[in-house]
Amino acid sequence: MTDAWLVGAGIRSALGDSVAATVEVLRRPPSAPRMLDVPLGAGVEVVPSLGMAGAVEEDPENRLYRLVEGAAREAIAEAELGPDELKTTALLLGTSSLDISMTEAAYARDLASGGEAYPLMSNSSMGEMGRVLAKRLGVGGMDLTINTACTASANALVYGDMLVRTRRASHALILGTELFNRTTALGFRSLDLLAPDGMRPFDKNRRGIVLGEACAAVVVGPERREGAFRLTGSANLCDTHGISAANPDGSTVAAVMREALGAAGVAPGDVAAVKSHGTASLLNDEAEAAGLRQVFGDGLPPLCALKPFIGHAFGACGLAELVMLLGAASAGFVPGTPGVGADPSDLGVSLTQGPTPVGRGDFLLNYFGFGGNNTALVMSNG
């Protein structure tokens, strides 16, 4: 076994086109969502979004690869990987919707041409997008695609880290991507889970999610660098309570956090800060708050929520929120959400309200997905 360190990172989101730009925006309060007009047949459906420009207007294929490649190349450049090193690098893609936006566009073009439209999911290979990205980026190691809903790219990091530690790859390039598509937007609209006035995790006025977009990337390698983070513990557990919500008693949420902290050898009282999953839905916030109270009791460290800044990026939130938190922590602070989740109210937890100073240490990151897949990560730069 060898050590593995996070040696490069990149991100594209509504906050900016680099890690540095993103961190600067995280010093300010989150922006309000914009209302996105989604063409639907002869009409238009309006949904709240914190996505990037061009979600509806730009060609989906160009947009997808432009953004995900941009994040990947930013991470590769920081890691200083050359062509020879990329040949032995593994690629792990974590995503929920894959390239559905491209499939939808092709389907619409076929209908508009007067022809007989092919089935909506004509490309049923989950691995095709990963193979295309590996070829375009010059990555020659194994490529894996992971789709476990909102935990997808967090789980991809766990697997990539393992490949480097066991020397099955010299480096691992982990990608998380989620871009706007009608299937996801209208699906959540039909579930009445979209909040037009923004995401308010753990707040008594929480109403649900705002659609988010992100393309994020990290490179994990054996080179130890000053101030670099590493994954010191992780856990992945499944909750069979329900398809779309964790057990509200918080038992499974608490179990996955305890297992991750145990794997890292970190006591709850030694955690520098917690990044919540924080979906701002009634049941999921209830379950996460209950789990946090069970693990930390009255000693809850600074608790932040990052979805108010970029919306819910689904399969990409694992990696995007990790890059955001670690970038901010490296700059010496934990982001805050003024006025959101300030009052513990009935949940018994509250969020950081402004940039909160933090030093080196151990950081706990939570991710809980549809279907009951729950993941917790412990990242350390101590």
**Residues in CB range of 57: below 8 A, 6 or more apart:** none
Q: Is the per-residue pLDDT at 115 higher than 80?
A: no
Residue 43: per-residue pLDDT: 72
Tell me how far apart the alpha carbons of residues 342 and 353 are, in angstroms, rounded to a whole number: 7
| Structural domain range at position 264 | 230-380
**CB-CB neighbours of 32 under 10 Å:** 13
Question: Do both 256 and 120 map to the same domain?
Answer: no
Residue 104 has pLDDT above 60, yes or no: yes
Count of domains for the chain = 2
Instruction: Verify that 209 and 260 share a domain, yes or no.
Output: no
- Cα torsion 175, 179, 183, 186 to 10°: value is 130
Kindly state whether residues 136 and 37 are assigned to the same domain: yes
In 41-119, where does DSSP find H-type helix? 60-79, 83-86, 100-112
**Does 119 share its domain with 209?**
yes
Single out the residue in 221, 243, 260 at which a domain terminates: 221
- Asked whether the CA dihedral 194, 72, 10, 317 is positive or negative, the reply is positive
**Residue 86 in tokens:** 């990329």
Are residues 145 and 242 both part of a single domain? no
Neighbouring CB atoms inside 10 A of 180's CB total 24
- The pLDDT, as a whole number, for residue 41 is 62
Task: Give the CA diameter of the chain.
Answer: 64
Among residues 221, 244, 261, the one where a domain terminates is: 221
For residue 346, the number of C-alpha atoms closer than 13 Å in the C-beta half-sphere is 8
DSSP structure class, residue 31: P
Residue whose token pair is 């109210």: 345
Residue 188: pLDDT band with limits 50, 70, 90: confident
Ranges of H-type helices in 81-237: 83-86, 100-112, 128-137, 152-165, 182-190
- Do 207 and 245 belong together in one domain? no
Specify the pLDDT at position 116. Answer: 64
- 258 and 210 in one domain? no
138: domain CATH number is 3.40.47.10
Do 210 and 262 share a domain, yes or no?
A: no
Is pLDDT at 298 greater than 90 in this prediction? yes
- The pLDDT assigned to 118 comes to 59
Per-residue pLDDT tens over the stretch 311-362: 999 999 999 999 999 999 999 999 999 999 999 988 999 999 999 999 999 9
| Domain shared by 168 and 246, yes or no | no
Computed over every residue of the chain, the mean pLDDT equals: 93
Is pLDDT larger for residue 102 or for residue 179? 179
Domain boundary among the residues 184, 199, 221 is at 221
Same domain, 245 and 282: yes
At 277, the pLDDT band (50, 70, 90 cuts) reads very high
Residues 74 and 171 in one domain: yes
Write down the number of H helices and E strands in the chain. Answer: 11, 14
pLDDT at 55 over 80: yes
Same domain for 215 and 260, yes or no, is: no
Which residues fall within 8 angstroms of residue 243, CB to CB, at 6 or more apart?
A: 370, 371, 372
At 82, give phi and psi (nearest 5°): -95, 175
The pLDDT score that the predictor gives to residue 37 is: 86
Residue 126 backbone dihedrals phi, psi, to 5 degrees: -65, -25
